Structure 1
Amino acid sequence: MFSQSKLTRVALMAGAACIGSASAGAQQAAQPAQQALPDVEVVQKKAPAAKKAAPVAKKQAASPAPQPPEPDVVEQQAPPADPNPIYGSPASAGATARATQSAQTPVNPTALIPTNLDGFASAATNLTPEVLQQNQPRNVNEALSRVPGVIIINDDGAAHHGGVAVRGSPARRSRKVLVMEDGHAVNLALWLDPSVHYWGPIDRFESVEVIRGTVITHGPNNNFGVVNARNISPFGPNETVISSAIGVTKSRAGSFTAFEGDGPGSGPEPDGPTIFGSSDNDISMRWHTHTRQSVGNVGIVASYTGGNTQGVWDTERLRFNDFYGAIGWKGVSSDLVVSSSYARQRDNYDEQNFLGNYELGDFNAVDEDDAEAQAEQVAEQFIGLAERQFLTGKHCKTCFAPSSGLNTYAGDIWRGQIVHNAYLDDDTTITTRFYAGHHTRDRYQLMSYGSEPDGSAGGLPPVFDVDVPAPGDLEDSSVYFGENTMFGRLRTFRHVGAEVRGEWANRNILGFNQTIQAGVRYEYQDMTNRNFIGLEDEILKEGDKAGATIFDRELDSNAVSAFLQTNVKVARDFNVVPGIRFEYYETNRRNRVVAREESEAGGGDSADCLANYGDADCLEIDGLVLNPNPATESFDNFHALPGVAFAYTGLHRTTVFGGYHRGMSTGVLRNEDFPVKDEIGDNFNIGLRSTAIRGLDFEASAFHQRLQDYQFGATFNAAVDRSFGRANEAEISGFELYSRLNSQPFTGGSLNLFAEGNYMYSRGIFKDTSNLGEDFSGNRLPEVPLHVAALTLGIEQKRGWRWDASMTWTYRGSFFTDEANTRYGMGGELECEEESPGQYECEIEEAGEDGEVPSIWLLSARFNMDIGETGASIFIAGDNLLDKMYISDREDGMKPGLGRTVWAGFKYKF
């Protein structure tokens, strides 16, 4: 039996080292939850149990040596030090231990998951600083591409505009995933428009965390998963880092030929000259520096990152400057972190992608239906023509849209957060935070591919044709304007919030040791959304706001969220985590001008154009509602979302986990009819993670989700552009696998060969679409691939001049972009117009907007080397090394993936 002095010494040493190992946690949780001192007395009285739980202690007690090696015991049990701690006070030992290893999430929302996932009751991944250093990702999306259950469909070369999906969610703008930095949401406005338009650079993140299963403590948008990137903490070790990289992207030469039909059965033939694009190797650059220093109880972080990178089109250039700073203070029984970031985006970027419009020819027919039937037979002979045009054009956007370089995007993003932790005792922590954000994103672009404004003054203004059905109610208006016209989309998002969370550990409730967590949060959000048209031939630039308004709405929301969960130690190796989350919000909307999908334009009828605009060739936006009635509208929703998870650790170095939770996903409310139903999901998952086999890490999980009022990008009810629809019910089922095999545990030495792979199968289908007026039941959900996989093979040297080299094959399966599951090559709308009595001209419009996106395999590789012990390192990495030309997505047309890109750079840390 230990003496009291020995117990005291071991306890003090364990507290100083922040012990959170599985064996220590299991031993503590197995004891009845009593007062602190009686717990020590129980250990003394039940010596056999103590010996069984800690065989090392038994050997020490039996040893005749006068000084048993207690320090060795502490060293064996102590977890590795967190290189990026969320707590700073010396009183945080208990909170740190629970944030290091637990069945539930840390109470401080800065961290999403425990550092050590042994015993965690959900599917999760932690991309640690070591993993990020080895993989050398250029952005967060690339880092997440090797995480099981995550789907990446990039929208831009720098991955700022979302593109992250978890399990069966669509990747477009990451709208159904809660995306955070240090627990602060990155989504523009969670209750109004949860799109992601800026995620910080990977250079200032120390780790990236993902939950793919049961989650109660974070929401909304928690049906599918939650992703959190952790910034550099002011409580970490002193360091200064300088890094830089240069990249070369291969933008291959392209060509574009217009196609026009000559008659029935002939089909489209080349019309006009072929336009060629230039072959170019485009240079990209990025740079970063940060410092973390501490003086006494105060630590500071200052970070700056910049980049100027090539995008997927020849016209796409992505520029940003990102600043981050934090101050941390360590008190005797509390700590405080004040952090802020500001980013400035100035991009040549837009959402107008390739649409293959082509004429099928003239048809003699008795009516329009007969003409369309004949044209469909011709179209069947030319399946995939638009896709062939796209692949021939390659990365050359100027081949089919010569003035597309005028399209710009300007973003200014500020976020700030204050987090205070108070440690009332070793088992009680209260976390309070205040946060706010302001995000402005202004987009200026051409109204159509053929637009070529020359910047001349005195262009014609847009002309409104206003129908007045009743006094004071201006509806069903149209606006006519010239083809060489640009428009602006001006959106501003603001939010402010406050949250209090508490954790009460080691409470004896109903005879079980429990750790209770609870929190409540209030948040206010608002957004302004205005679209306007400039003069014909006017080139709109950043700061321009004058023009004819064609869409104007303001929205705001007040939201209150709360949660309660407890980690119940049912048995020594079995934890159950029940909980419930509450979400209440009220949304208000002020309407000034409303149009379908914010006013995408189509070609106007020549007679109407001549009568209203004075030119037979013009563009028209119809269906405008000016001064809509009601001018203001609102609704509110409340949801109680229960859940329960479990973790069983009775198997050797293995955790079996699973659970259920009712989740909620918010929607894009810009054009939704009020009131709005929220997307509610019943989400189930079960799995295991293990390191029981020497050299092998393994995780497998299965999931099933039933979703009510599922919002998706729709085309069935969009007159001129993609809009949003809701299905009564959708269902998603699948499974995910991850494993890593290392040779070093078998061979010894400093050289390690490794193989790492992940795979996900996710089948999402519509179950009930009766509310849509068309039956899409059984069709696959848009933007959701069936299969996603990655396989990495590598070698690493862990001593001396440390280095590693690896190559990765990533696979993204095919998916559809529309609810009708239009097959490859069949997208587009057939239009026939009567030219003369009995003769119709038929064409395919906007071919390529909808349809299947084919699967793709891509190869990437990387090499990193530390230059001795100097703190300097170099790397070289390449993406799409086989330079495959492929369709990345179909959104306002077909968009290519990034061409072959090779980066080389250095990092110096001192």
Structure 2
Amino acid sequence: MHLADIVVVAPDRLAQIAGAVTLLSAADYRQSQPFALDDILRRVPGLYVRGEEGLALRPNVGIRGLTPIRSTEVLFLEDGVPLAYAPYGDNASYYHPPIERFSGVQVLRGSAQIAFGPHTVGGVINYTTPNPSEDLEGRLVLRGGNRGNREVTLQASDTVGETGILGMFTRRESEGNRDNQDLSYDDLFVKLTRPISASQNLTLKASWLREDSQVTYSGLTEAEYAADPRQNPFGNDRFEAEHMAASAVHAWRLTDTLRLTTALYGATFQRDWWRQSSNSGQRPNDASDPACGGMANLNTTCGNEGRLRDYYSFGIDSRLAWDWATAGRLAGRLEAGVRLHRENQERLQWNGDTPTARRPGVGRNAGVVEDNTRRATAMSGFVQNSFVLGDLTITPGLRLESIEFERANNLPGGGRGQRRIDVAIPGLGFAWSRDDRLTAFAGVHRGFSPPRAEDIITNTGGSVELDAEQSTNWEAGLRARPAAGVALEATAFRMDFDNQIVPSSVAGGVGATLTSAGETLHQGLEFAGRFSSAEAFGSELDWYADATLTWVAQAEYVGRRFSSLSGFGAVSVTGNRLPYAPEWFGRAAFGVRAPSGLQAEVEVVQTGEMFADDLNTVAPTANGQRGLIPDATVINLAGSWALPNTSVRLLARVRNVADRTYIIDRARGILPNEPRIVQIGVEYAF
């Protein structure tokens, strides 16, 4: 581990981690030639990942039956620093860096995640970025395929004097999953490392991403999906975004056993989403645009809505790690840290008079209909100590979060309000490991996820009785390497929610007002396995297989609960399954690597059926927002060939080989999966 990284998971201490953890290196997943984030994260047991527009620019990740919509229950980090632009006040993901940037992925799902936060309900996903090389090296990747899929990635690194320099540029384009889409983004990433002294290092990072996409927010009605599942009536909709981030990490090894790491970080995210519809129930000629006259006038007289968001966040995170030992058999590691964090949100909604308007209207649409300022100021701290007693490691810990929310309605007559949340998040974990072939672990911790500022403070400044999301999370499992070339992991989990937060109308989409769902229960099993003939038998021809399988046996309302859907408030949903929580999901991949440089892999991805509302409606409704989402099986192929005596590798991948079409989401109306994608490419290493 590089000296100036914030350590999330130290691979050499894996046997002492008291909880489920998955480590993936770029070498692990690049052989599959991942097309988007989904392809990497579904290699992790317990994670349900679904697509949206086609490039995973707005990821949807659910853990152990939690809602995947906008990854609101997931804490994303990059090299230990918060990746989300508003993790305290609005954790919905409308931005994600390209997967080409990462050298590895670490996923924590147990009690160890309380060292990070604020979200400790589902899990922590930490992306690691590569460090500069000692000598000049790099790679160039070019790909092209159907549906306008094009990609270029250039990475280069070197060390000049004592300064390590790494730079990376990625551009991707695609027509995505539907018609009238044109997705594109550019991403630039720079990383500098330099020793300050024999015991101190400094790492500077900066990134910039610009997206300019023709993409709608709205899904399809049932009739629209039946007529053409890949249609998109709203070709005038556009998403424009710019994300900039920078961090400075100072690592100081005070002694051989004591290390202090401090990170200063900041980010800005501006995004404008101009759209004529926010869901399949909002069609022209409805109450929001009465002069439109209907779908026939969609491209002429119908207006639009501009959802304009500016986010600014910055903070400081300082962590101390001390490896200690007594004169007897007792030893361990003490970790403690503090964080100060600040977020500002500027939120506008401009209603325009025409399909392509980019300013407030003056007539029927009433111009500016939202002007909000929202802030979150957080102070947190944690302490966690691992006591190592021979083969047994016991790790108690405690995290404290204090968050103050502010909201101001800047329109005439608007109100202002404040609300504060203080919470203690304890955790306790156990790990037993005689050697690196077998580790047994168990743990319990308090899950916590703060509500958004808008969900506990009304637009008039009043207070909403919406408590923070809290749960008690249990797990027990095994990590085993019973023989050379074989790795297995199995975990049983249980999450008891005192109060789970869900949209008051699931069909309203991610922007719906949230409500306290009361008691819910998630429990099940997750499994991962891997085999390599080269590691097992020393064969030159490597036959390999890896698989994950998750069974969410229960994800249901267990307290006294009535439906949150409009018109069904008197209908009990106690015992019903939570929306977007498939019972079964998993993947299996089988491949071969030859000494000649040829590699090929086939992957099968299976997702079980799921409900889209708390009533567990089976028959679809006309607007497409409710109804059963059937199970689906998809086959993907990948292959490559390293040309002999060269630094060139030829690439090929096929997504959704059978070109199956199925439903992946109903929250804003029906969204289809990705169609068949065929790409070829070349990689040149230097």
The verdict on a shared fold, with TM-score over 0.5 as the criterion, is: yes
Deviation of 1:720 (Å)? 14
Alignment partner of 2:558 out of 767, 782, 795: 767
Deviation of 1:153 (Å)? 1.2
CA contact (8 A) 1:186 1:196 kept: no
CA contact (8 A) 2:246 2:265 kept: yes
Deviation of 1:221 (Å)? 1.3
Amino acid in the other structure paired with 1:557: A
Distance 1:521 1:748 in 2: 48
1:806-817 to structure 2, matched below 5 A, reads 806-817=601-612
Q: Deviations over 1:345-391 (max 9, x none)?
A: 001112111114xxxxxxxxxxxxxxxxxxxxxxxxxxxxx4xx514
Distance 2:148 2:43 in 1: 26
Alignment partner of 1:788 out of 570, 585, 590: 585
Q: Does residue 324 of structure 2 align to residue 493 of structure 1?
A: no
- RMSD between aligned alpha carbons? 2.6
Alignment partner of 2:192 out of 313, 318, 327: 327
- In structure 1, the partner of 2:298 is none
Q: Does residue 330 of structure 2 align to residue 512 of structure 1?
A: yes
Q: Does residue 650 of structure 2 align to residue 874 of structure 1?
A: yes
Amino acid in the other structure paired with 2:578: L
- In structure 1, the partner of 2:54 is 157
1:710-725 to structure 2, matched below 5 A, reads 710-715=500-505, 722-725=512-515
CA contact (8 A) 1:113 1:211 kept: no
Deviation of 1:872 (Å)? 1.9
Distance 1:672 1:903 in 2: 47
Distance 1:188 1:236 in 2: 32
Q: Does residue 440 of structure 2 align to residue 656 of structure 1?
A: yes
Alignment partner of 2:261 out of 427, 431, 435: 431
Deviation of 1:296 (Å)? 2.6
Amino acid in the other structure paired with 1:689: R
Look up the SS of the partner of 1:151 in the other structure.
strand
Amino acid in the other structure paired with 1:873: R
Distance 1:720 1:681 in 2: 21
Q: Deviations over 1:28-68 (max 9, x none)?
A: xxxxxxxxxxxxxxxxxxxxxxxxxxxxxxxxxxxxxxxxx
Q: Which moved more, 1:879-888 or 1:503-512?
A: 503-512
TM-score normalised by length of structure 2: 0.91
Q: Percent identity?
A: 24
Q: Does residue 621 of structure 2 align to residue 821 of structure 1?
A: no
Alignment partner of 2:524 out of 720, 725, 734: 734
Alignment partner of 1:393 out of 196, 204, 228: 228
Change (3 A) 1:503 1:784: same
Amino acid in the other structure paired with 1:824: A
Q: Does residue 241 of structure 2 align to residue 411 of structure 1?
A: yes
Q: Does residue 408 of structure 2 align to residue 590 of structure 1?
A: yes
- In structure 2, the partner of 1:302 is 167
Deviation of 1:709 (Å)? 2.2
Distance 1:699 1:352 in 2: 39
Distance 1:346 1:718 in 2: 25
Amino acid in the other structure paired with 2:219: N
CA contact (8 A) 1:415 1:435 kept: yes
Deviation of 1:188 (Å)? 3.2
Distance 2:170 2:62 in 1: 26
Distance 2:502 2:131 in 1: 38
Change (3 A) 1:695 1:391: farther
Look up the SS of the partner of 1:555 in the other structure.
strand
Look up the SS of the partner of 1:192 in the other structure.
coil
- Which has more radius of gyration? 1
Distance 1:544 1:299 in 2: 48
Change (3 A) 1:777 1:735: same
TM-score normalised by length of structure 1: 0.69
Amino acid in the other structure paired with 1:805: A
Change (3 A) 1:783 1:672: farther
- In structure 2, the partner of 1:144 is 41
CA contact (8 A) 2:248 2:263 kept: yes
Deviation of 1:158 (Å)? 0.5
Alignment partner of 2:3 out of 66, 87, 91: 87
Deviation of 1:162 (Å)? 1.4
- In structure 2, the partner of 1:380 is none
Q: Does residue 22 of structure 2 align to residue 232 of structure 1?
A: no
Deviation of 1:396 (Å)? 2.2
Alignment partner of 2:422 out of 635, 638, 648: 638
Distance 2:470 2:356 in 1: 44
Amino acid in the other structure paired with 1:396: Q
- In structure 1, the partner of 2:488 is 698
CA contact (8 A) 1:246 1:904 kept: yes
Change (3 A) 1:452 1:731: closer
CA contact (8 A) 2:303 2:357 kept: no
Deviation of 1:747 (Å)? 4.2
1:836-851 to structure 2, matched below 5 A, reads 846=623, 848-851=624-627
Change (3 A) 1:392 1:447: closer
CA contact (8 A) 2:104 2:128 kept: yes
Look up the SS of the partner of 1:130 in the other structure.
helix
CA contact (8 A) 2:153 2:169 kept: yes
Deviation of 1:560 (Å)? 0.5
More helix by share: 1
- In structure 2, the partner of 1:559 is 378
Q: Deviations over 1:225-265 (max 9, x none)?
A: 111111222366642111111121xxxxxxxxxxxxxxxxx
Deviation of 1:639 (Å)? 0.8
Q: Which moved more, 1:708-717 or 1:291-300?
A: 708-717
Change (3 A) 1:146 1:728: same
Look up the SS of the partner of 2:149 in the other structure.
strand
Distance 2:3 2:136 in 1: 16
- In structure 2, the partner of 1:627 is 413
- In structure 1, the partner of 2:671 is 895
Change (3 A) 1:545 1:659: farther
Alignment partner of 2:343 out of 515, 525, 529: 525
CA contact (8 A) 1:751 1:796 kept: yes
Distance 1:339 1:752 in 2: 38
Distance 2:60 2:511 in 1: 20
Alignment partner of 1:540 out of 357, 371, 386: 357
Look up the SS of the partner of 2:51 in the other structure.
coil
Q: Which moved more, 1:233-242 or 1:678-687?
A: 233-242
Look up the SS of the partner of 2:326 in the other structure.
strand
Look up the SS of the partner of 2:215 in the other structure.
coil
Deviation of 1:307 (Å)? 0.8
Deviation of 1:109 (Å)? 2.8
Q: Deviations over 1:485-533 (max 9, x none)?
A: 1110001111010011001112439972121110000000011111121
Runs of 4+ in 1 over 6 A off after TM superposition: 448-453, 543-547, 716-721
Distance 1:727 1:551 in 2: 28
Residue ranges of structure 2 left out of the alignment (5+ in a row): 294-301, 458-462
CA contact (8 A) 2:268 2:313 kept: yes
Distance 2:625 2:170 in 1: 36
1:19-38 to structure 2, matched below 5 A, reads none
- Number of aligned residue pairs: 658
Look up the SS of the partner of 2:172 in the other structure.
strand
Look up the SS of the partner of 2:114 in the other structure.
coil
